Structure 1
């Protein structure tokens, strides 16, 4: 589905994100509500304190290995869109489209909705309700706050990439300061001799390797966002340098923060408290802080969730934009605002779908089973790196990881895909797969057979003028000069 030029000549995305901004997008998206609110899932599945800490560390190492692989792919293929571009180059357009379909319709919007609802929950904890409002009123209030956050972030994404970058940087600094504050509280308690929980060591450890995969899923959910920067490589200054550098600096920082936070919890709280409480950071604050400053903890969670929502929605809009520009979604979704140079309709689609998830209510099962789908795509993407090593052996790679890193990552990803099916099989996994394949209902007629609907031409033209958007172009001004050759390889494979 194409449309003619609208109000102006073609435009392109602006490179406004530097190294600090890149680190902010990684750290700001990864550190969400999980580590502040309920990191107990990994402990429940691992069974012991020591094994829990090992799981958190291994989750960080796995994400770092994956991100380093993505850094190689991102400096080889410098278009925005992350996995979509890499899967397309390695395995062709159908697999790439199915990734985008799943991510734009389910993975990113549902994650944004869940995180924004957590923001609303903790925003209300800053000012405790003394009026004993009924539960239904509280649910509606949370939904309204969550929708307001989603729409505010959407407006910022349309108005300015630079402003989105500043929001992410502020949120990152705020949550790092909050983590330092909580860790200091925990260390004070440990220094005073409160080490009983930590001393329990490996007592009660889970020994079933398939059940242990659930502990890794719990930890990896909190690490989600490690691939964030690859979605905006066209807006990253000097991506050949800043993409791998931001990953190398950002992810180890998150690993350290998560490990220290868990140690702090175990230094203040008992194992039963960690397992049973739903808001650990607030429980820790109530144990250690005077009542008049306990509000600092929920405020910190608000900053954390705001940054994560900002990052998730930013990525989703760019995936829709990149997929549409390649012709796998309606091309008008790839048009950019002539003044702001942002993908307006890609952002609007993200806002609309995220809002629907907030209104729908309970979608925890959806998130659980599509987290499995996410790791299928991670596996395919890193396997694609190995495939491209053979397809393009002579292509210059600005950043190149040792081959054992993608091999280890693929083996671990396969474990994470297969183990839950063995330990706790559910037909909902089959439902997730069927939903992914259902995306072909659009792809086959409109992309493969290039079916055109003539009446949409006039509709799209009106939308162009309404939103002041124009065709977006891509230039390899700071990327690889051999991108065309790379795309030719993908087209031949298709």
Structure 2
């Protein structure tokens, strides 16, 4: 059968689309980053405020994207929206950044987290295969991370129904497990006085600097005024990363039934579900563990959220509920969570590169569908680069690169609503952005302030993100002036 007869099949309903939104968002972050936030901000109230602000920002962006999704229910999603508002070059820069950093970077970060927690059961994964200098090791964890990406890519080349099944099963499993942790955490935690102690002086904010080698406290700084605002703007990248990838459902618009209705609905429902879960999970953590703690503490309660071993605050909370076995239960949960998360990321990302190829802005082979009506070669291109990023094994660097770059293009896309309202006032809009123009403007302003804070407090990583975006300019002209095989 000729390949030209193959086309994307609309087989995904509202439940499937919502599962992809929620499943792509929930990975490893919710089980880890609260410990980092506790070091940065040191306040129970401000930590919850940042998670709430993140949820509101994410839901606001999702509701705004609903208008664009209704107008352009095509494979490629955000790439298509940006091109219609700004033209081919800007859309290519987005696609280039998604390929080099955003999508593949998140896939790599989640795969590294999957391998890290698998090592709880199989410590042999920590064995070095070889090292370069004192700062970089290649271990079996990186091998496992890459293997997991390859496996998920292979599964998703077998058809969207296969990928959908994996996504629905793993998303359902981790939602049930997370709600169990929340319910048990609140049940046991509220019997103690830990939560009342956490909220006794809940607005008192401090920044704790810890030695990365031995874990000893180097300094503790009181935070007030602009210093507090700046640190909050920088540390919010942690919950933002944990809530990212909600837009992936727009990439697969070509395979969703009634996309004009189901994509906006799934964006709202998925982001709402995850926001509620994240806030409740953090309240459960604070019911079981003190926010502050002692770096040299002998127990998980003495260490608290701030000094949880390897920042595994989820594992620390589970161990309070179930004892030592809780560490293994939580590790298993995170393995399920990260594997399911990456399934959705792999499934969605390939569709974006397929759309780019069809527009002449990516390798031609990526625009071909296999016998299962899946852009298999686009998936394998994505897999190859994600595996390269897995080699670094540096979870935090991958987080910073992809989240900052994502924020830049989220702002740009939402501003595109204003451009298209002016350029195409009569275009069909089955759904209009909630609270337009006030809500979209607020999102842009708040996100811009966060990006400025990140540039100030994390200059190296954010500048690297900007350089990667900028490198897309000469690559764009290569694609425009030369046929890329």
List aligned pairs for 1:72-471, cutoff 5 A. 72-125=67-120, 127=121, 129=123, 134=127, 140-194=139-193, 195=195, 196-204=197-205, 206-207=223-224, 208=226, 209-271=229-291, 272=293, 273-277=304-308, 278-292=311-325, 294-337=327-370, 339-362=371-394, 364-401=396-433, 402-403=435-436, 404-421=438-455, 423-424=456-457, 426-447=459-480, 449=481, 451-452=482-483
Change (3 A) 1:294 1:105: closer
Q: Deviations over 1:440-461 (max 9, x none)?
A: 33321431x3x347xx5xxxxx
- Report the TM-score, using the length of structure 1 for normalisation: 0.85
> In structure 1, the residue corresponding to 2:361 is in which secondary structure?
coil
Residue 12 of structure 2 aligns to a residue whose secondary structure is: coil
Shift of 1:133: 7.2
Deviations 1:350-380 (A, max 9, x none): 1111111122333643541442222111111
User: In the alignment, is the contact (CA less than 8 A) between 1:386 and 1:406 conserved in 2?
Assistant: no
1:434 Cα shift? 2.6
Structure 1 residue 414 displacement after superposition? 1.3
- CA distance in 1 between counterparts of 2:238 and 2:14 reads 29
Q: Which string of whole-angstrom CA distances, capped at 9 and with x for unpartnered residues, describes residues 421-466 of structure 1?
A: 2x3262553343232222233321431x3x347xx5xxxxxxxxxx
Q: Is the 8 A contact 1:112 1:309 kept in 2?
A: yes
Corresponding position of 1:468: none
Query: What is the aligned partner in structure 2 of residue 473 from structure 1?
Result: none
Change over 3 Å in CA distance of 1:446–1:420 after alignment to 2: closer
Task: Give the length in aligned residue pairs.
Answer: 443
Deviation, 1:7, is: 4.0
SS of equivalent residue, structure 1 residue 439: helix
Q: Spell out, residue by residue over 1:77-116, the C-alpha distance to the aligned partner (whole angstroms, 9 max, x if none).
A: 1112122111100011000001101111222112111111
SS class of match (1:398):
coil
CA contact (8 A) 1:232 1:315 kept: yes
Change (3 A) 1:445 1:179: closer
Give the equivalent residue in structure 1 for 2:217.
Answer: none
Going from structure 1 to structure 2, the CA distance change for 1:324 and 1:143 (only over 3 Å counts) comes to same
CA distances 1:98-147 after superposition (whole Å, capped 9, x unpaired): 1101111222112111111111121232x254x89755599622122212
Check the 8 A contact 2:126/2:140 in 1, yes or no.
no
Matching of residue 21 in structure 1 with residue 16 in structure 2 = yes
Give the direction of change, closer, same or farther, for the CA distance of 1:386–1:44 in structure 2 (3 Å limit).
Answer: farther
Contact 2:316–2:327 (Cα < 8 Å) also in 1: no
Partner of residue 459, structure 1? none
Residue equivalent to 1:466: none
In terms of mean alpha carbon deviation, does 168-177 or 137-146 score higher?
A: 137-146
Distance 1:314 1:160 in 2: 10
Deviations 1:447-487 (A, max 9, x none): 1x3x347xx5xxxxxxxxxxxxxxxxxxxxxxxxxxxxxxx
Instruction: Confirm or deny: 8 A CA contact 2:108 2:145 kept in the other structure.
Output: yes
**8 Å Cα contact 1:43/1:215 also seen in 2:** no
1:18 to 1:42, Cα distance in 2 relative to 1, 3 A: same
Contact in 1 for aligned 2:54/2:240 (Cα 8 Å): yes
Whether contact under 8 Å (1:48, 1:204) holds in the other structure is yes
Moved more, 137-146 or 267-276: 137-146
**8 Å CA contact 1:32, 1:115 repeated in 2:** yes
Please identify, of 284-293 and 77-86, the stretch whose mean Cα deviation from structure 2 is larger. Answer: 284-293
CA 1:114–1:269: 2 relative to 1, 3 Å: same
How far residue 285 of structure 1 moved from its aligned partner, in angstroms, is: 1.9
Contact 1:168 1:310 in 2 (8 A): yes
Q: CA deviation at 1:10?
A: 3.3
- Whole-angstrom CA distance in 2 between matches of 1:32 and 1:14: 27
Residues in 2 aligned to 1:425 and 1:201: alpha-carbon distance in whole angstroms: 26
Q: Is the 8 A contact 2:234 2:457 kept in 1?
A: no
Alpha-carbon separation, structure 2, partners of 1:177 and 1:53: 22
Residue segments in structure 2 that go unaligned for 5+ positions in a row:
131-136, 207-222, 294-303
2: CA distance, partners of 1:25 / 1:314: 9
CA distance in 2, matches of 1:86, 1:355: 28
Partners in 1 of 2:90 and 2:240 — Cα distance?
Answer: 24
CA apart distance, 1:292: 4.9
Q: CA RMSD, aligned part only?
A: 2.2
Relative distance call for 1:133 and 1:263 in structure 2 (3 A) is: closer
